Structure 1
Amino acid sequence: MSWIIGLTLFGLAYWQVRRRALERAAELSPTGMLRSPLYWIGSGLSVLLVGFVLLVGQMYRGAPIPAGLWIAIVAIFGVALMIRRALKWRYPV
């Protein structure tokens, strides 16, 4: 019975996220932002940052986390913020 509730909640969340994503894409498409290399680099950095955070979560189970990984995470976060600011400056939507 609980799997039905979980599946329903997941379906509802997916439906809401998809609807908002389609609205956002329809809003950004006329500006040309979706074809911008900065947009794709920012999206790629976001995925990379999530991957590093998941890696840290997996590594935390037993071994100490290398300092270089933390520096990389902070550097990627800073670059992603600068790219986001550049996109806001170039495409003020």
Structure 2
Amino acid sequence: MTIVLAIAFAAVLTGLLVRARRNSARHAASGMLRSPLYWLTSLLTMTLLGLAMYMAYLHQRAPIPILLWIIVAALVPATLVLLRALKWRYPV
């Protein structure tokens, strides 16, 4: 059973890699990879991911401070607005 799950996991990762390369080639051809909006959106997304991981770590030891929730509440709409701007600027 473990072998089947390992093979399925490897197949899913391979499919994601192929899809990511295809998207990357399409983004490079359209000029999106050089766009400051793209890099800012990526930065905000990674910041949100890091903050969520920190909050999960912090939650094991103490309650999460309200300031972190406020930051998350500000980052989520900002990231969504930037993603919408990217879709508008570089329609696919």
Short-chain TM bin: 0.7 to 0.9
Give 1:11's aligned residue.
10
The 2-side partners of 1:71 and 1:8 are apart by: 41
**Cα deviation 1:3-62 (Å, max 9, x = unaligned):** x44432332222011011011112222210111011011011111111111111111113
1:64-83 correspondence runs (5 A):
64-83=63-82
TM-score, normalised to structure 2's length?
0.87
Query: What are the ranges of 5 or more consecutive residues in structure 1 without an aligned counterpart?
Result: none
Give 1:88's aligned residue.
87
The 1-side partners of 2:5 and 2:19 are apart by: 21
1:16-55 correspondence runs (5 A):
16-55=15-54
DSSP 3-state at the match of 1:62: coil
Bigger mean CA deviation after superposition, 44-53 or 21-30? 21-30
Q: Report how many aligned residue pairs link the two structures.
A: 92
What is the RMSD of the two structures over their aligned residues, measured on CA atoms?
1.5
- Whichever residue aligns with residue 12 of structure 1, its letter is A
Q: Displaced runs of 4+ in structure 1, greater than 3 A?
A: 4-7
How many percent of aligned residue pairs carry the same amino acid?
Answer: 40
